[in-house]
Amino acid sequence: RWLVLQHLEKEGLITKYKHVVITRSDYLYIAPHPPVENIPQGRIVIPEGEGYGGVTDRHSIMTMADAPRILALAEKVVFGK
Residue type, 12: G
What pLDDT, on the 0 to 100 scale, is given for residue 81?
66
Q: pLDDT (tens digit, 9 = 90+) per residue, 17-66?
A: 999 999 988 988 899 988 999 999 999 988 887 667 777 778 899 999 99
Half-sphere exposure of 51 (CA within 13 A, CB side): 8
pTM (2 d.p.): 0.77
> What span, in angstroms and rounded, lies between the C-alpha atoms of 8 and 42?
19
Whether 77 has a pLDDT exceeding 90, the answer reads no
DSSP state of 20: E
